[in-house]
Structure 1
Amino acid sequence: MSKSNISQSKLVSNLSKRATKMNENIALKALTEGFMGTTIISLGVSLFSILVNLPIKPWLVFLNSTKIFSTVNEALSVSISMLGIYVVMSIAYHLTKLKKENPLTGVLISTTVYFILMPLSINKAATSININYMGSKGIFIAVIVGLIVPAFYVWLTNKNLKVKLPSTVPPMVSEALEPLWSALIIFSLAMITKYIFVFLPGGNVFDFVEDVVSAPLNHLALTPLTYILFAVLCNFLWWLGIHPAVVMGVSFPFITAANTANASAFLSGKPLPYLVFAVLGGLINIGGAGNTISLVSLFPFAKSDRYKSLGKLAIIPNLFNINEPVIFGTPVIFNPFYLVPMVLTTLVTGFVSWGIMALGFVPPLNPTTSAPWVLPIVVQDFLMGGWEFAALAVLGYLINMAIYYPFFRLADTVAYKEELENLKNEEKKAETK
């Protein structure tokens, strides 16, 4: 065996040991199980998201005339668009359960804290909440609240901070009132936290996170390098559970300016001044954030039933660029196995595409073509730049699959061993009975 192979083997072995150790952490287990618990929501509505966005004019006219389109959009708004609520509930449930306390109490307290921290719009007519705080702006906060609040509740409970009632009180009433002091302390701290953030940038914890993350990006120049690095940052934020929408506002003016200049040049018969932006836009995230279509394509070859089953459910939505089932169902978020490929695929695909263009292979793009986001990326690229551009997308897809493969194998091996261990435990229980 060569030295490079030995070094690679050691690296893989060390990574596997560290990742396995991290997976045994209660907080990471709660994150994994919590995000997997939200899969039923993203999978449950993904088909409708595809159907109402199909680029067939008679179909769209029918949907609008019958008001089906608005009905489905409202359903999507209270499901995928409000995923933050479901995330905090699911993580809090699993963390409290893993710590051997009442999971329902952990969920109720954590969800209440989540809403306490949320800014409200109050007027004489009504009190309202911006739905973005329950979705794209709320995922990161949901993760923090879902981990910290139930952990603190369990800690207080272990300190015997309970309301003790006479034995004559019905158990249902006693169990409901036991965590009263813990809840009072936690809610008080939540309100103090909310008050503190009033005086910080953003005026609330949700906007503070957005401002702090977005601010360093304000001075980025309009270059292919920064475009690639920005996409890498977005995928890293996805891995952290922060929806990239919190920083997209920074890049939109630059990207819009580049796209507008490209369209004007094309209509005037001139070379596209920002051709590389148009190319990168069609290749840098194939199948959604993190190039997850390449990861899902490996699932049918898994040893574990977990990945095989998820692959069957997630492949169709992912083909149409809906990758929430993979992001939250695998989960990719906070999963130590997938941090490197989540970031590396975008970096490599971006530089390979940029390099191919530098060598003179430039697809004939029509920047005025706008394809619906739910179309498979290969179809989008074909409509914009013909078979040459579609071929680049296929190449990027294969490169990303090669990058994901070793990390997927490690994760699948761990999952397979867990399934075998669970099966042995069940057999032992059956024998004792």
Structure 2
Amino acid sequence: MDKIMKFIQEKLTPIANFLGQQRHFSAMQKGIMTTLSFILVSAIFMIIANPPVTPELVEQGGFWSIFSGWLNFATAHKETILIPFNMTMGMISVIAAFAIAYHLANSYKMSALNTGLTSLILFLIAAAPSNYYQLADETTLTAIDTTYLGAPGLFTAILVGLFSVEITRFCQSKNLTIKMPDSIPPFLSDIFGALVPLLINIFVFFGGNLIIGLFDSNLTIPSLIEKILSAPISGINSVPGALLICFLILFFWCVGVHGMMVVMPLTTPITIAAFAENAELFANGQDPIFQPIFMTIAIALLGGTGNTLSFVLLCLKAESKQLKAFGKVSIVPSIFRVSEPVIFGAPIIFNPILMIPFILGGLLTAVLFWLASTMGLLTPFYILITGTFPIFVNSFTKSLDYRYIIFEIVMGVILLIVWYPFFKVYDRQLLAKEKESEIQEPVE
């Protein structure tokens, strides 16, 4: 263990330090961490809207009947309950586009507020351009597509946040701005100074969408990015293929792309067909069979994508104040398999120290799940349910096999071992920064 920690310290810490100091990566990390409070609030309402039971289970009575009130309330008011979720997690890329540009502009000593707002508007132009729709009563509705305002548009938000600042900075360095007299108040000068860079930025991103639309009217900048990223996994349905899909889901998350959203158009039909086939086998008195696509479900059994619950549990015992506080606020979402607070809050995104156990732990779970299923130690899934079901309950309700509880406990212990050396190195880094910050604080 000491050798592993020494290797991480010597090989990965310099990379992490470089990324932390490099202004673009630093802006990405700070911008994405800005979204954490919104993600935590969204997780609460997602949990409320998705009780850990199905109507069929409640009808069976017994233990499950205690959830009947919650289920009835959530079913009747789900759309209303999810409004805060839709306006927080559903707008996370909008927030990130502003925050990333804001922090990058700050590092350049530029007007952070104007630059952040410019990035936000550009992201909306690129990801959610407004359209006009003729309704049945002959009135016209102006609406925007919200598909990429949430996590699926995060990679686009990162690109817009970074490039818009650099375009504005280029305009300022080449004097492509409106200069105002020195007698004009600074905030007015900033407003007029931002006009020309804003127009050029609009030409770049709006023009980019128009050019893409000439080749395919159904594509925009974010949908093109999504299409390019999903191309390598097209047509793959085998154990090696499922492992590749799992890797890409995990890797995409590490670089700010909603990995599951990228692969979902390809995996969803296969997953539904696999559940349907197994349900038919079970109904006919036969045993369900293992399907490789189920491995993509296994990477999210313990704490959401990446199986990050073990890391959160370690954070509860962290020495650094940051990780300890992070562990406390992330434990409930992790139990309900909501991983965004961990991915964005730790953060795992663009953090080479935590990216490795995130990917490694997810793949290890997928492999062990495959082995346990093919050896007859676990019943393959055959009940298709969706929602933020908590650990143990989620896998049990998909299979009605209590052995999944044992499997998840064992996996949790294994993942504690996987995460531990990386956690310790990161915890010591944060602790050292906290002590340095305390030393530098002026004594009153």
TM-score by length of 2: 0.87
CA distance in 2, matches of 1:109, 1:130: 20
Aligned to 1:81: 90
1:196 aligned to which of 204, 207, 211 = 211
1:281 aligned to which of 297, 302, 307 = 297
- Match of 1:169, SS? coil
2:100 aligned to which of 85, 91, 98 = 91
AA partner of residue 392 (structure 2): V
AA partner of residue 330 (structure 1): A
Shift of 1:413: 1.8
2:177 matches 1:162: yes
Q: Deviations over 1:296-347 (max 9, x none)?
A: 1111122211111111111111111112211111121122222211211121
Aligned to 2:62: none
Aligned to 2:10: 13
Shift of 1:28: 1.4
CA distance in 1, matches of 2:255, 2:370: 27
Aligned to 2:322: 306
2:138 matches 1:128: no
RMSD, aligned α-carbons: 2.4
- Match of 1:230, SS? helix
Q: Deviations over 1:240-279 (max 9, x none)?
A: 1111212211011212111111111111111223366557
Aligned to 2:71: 60
AA partner of residue 117 (structure 1): A
Aligned to 2:254: 239
Shift of 1:142: 0.4
- Closer, same or farther: CA 248–279 of 1 in aligned 2, 3 Å: closer
1:45 aligned to which of 15, 39, 42 = 42
CA distance in 1, matches of 2:295, 2:229: 27
CA contact (8 A) 1:85 1:134 kept: yes
Aligned to 1:146: 161
CA distance in 2, matches of 1:73, 1:13: 45
Shift of 1:12: 4.0
Aligned to 2:416: 401
Aligned to 1:390: 405
2:266 matches 1:250: yes
CA distance in 2, matches of 1:278, 1:216: 19
- Closer, same or farther: CA 229–394 of 1 in aligned 2, 3 Å: farther
Shift of 1:79: 1.5
CA distance in 1, matches of 2:75, 2:372: 43
Shift of 1:406: 1.6
Counting matched residue pairs gives 421
Task: Using the aligned pairs only, state the percent identity.
Answer: 27
CA contact (8 A) 1:349 1:399 kept: no
Aligned to 2:228: 212
- Match of 2:148, SS? helix
Shift of 1:357: 3.9
- Match of 1:123, SS? strand
User: 5 Å matches for 1:101-116?
Assistant: 101-116=110-125
Q: Which ranges in structure 1 are unaligned for 5 or more consecutive residues?
A: none
CA contact (8 A) 1:300 1:312 kept: yes
2:387 matches 1:373: yes
- Closer, same or farther: CA 336–10 of 1 in aligned 2, 3 Å: closer
Shift of 1:186: 1.9
CA distance in 1, matches of 2:23, 2:152: 25
AA partner of residue 229 (structure 1): L
- Closer, same or farther: CA 394–6 of 1 in aligned 2, 3 Å: closer
- Closer, same or farther: CA 375–219 of 1 in aligned 2, 3 Å: closer
Aligned to 2:63: none
CA distance in 1, matches of 2:296, 2:161: 36
- Closer, same or farther: CA 92–254 of 1 in aligned 2, 3 Å: same
Shift of 1:203: 2.5
CA distance in 2, matches of 1:281, 1:149: 37
Q: Deviations over 1:201-237 (max 9, x none)?
A: 553111111211222222212x233223212211111
CA contact (8 A) 1:349 1:396 kept: yes
CA distance in 2, matches of 1:366, 1:176: 58
1:23 aligned to which of 20, 24, 42 = 20
2:307 matches 1:296: no
AA partner of residue 306 (structure 1): Q
Shift of 1:64: 4.7
- Match of 1:131, SS? coil
Shift of 1:280: 6.8
CA distance in 2, matches of 1:276, 1:231: 11
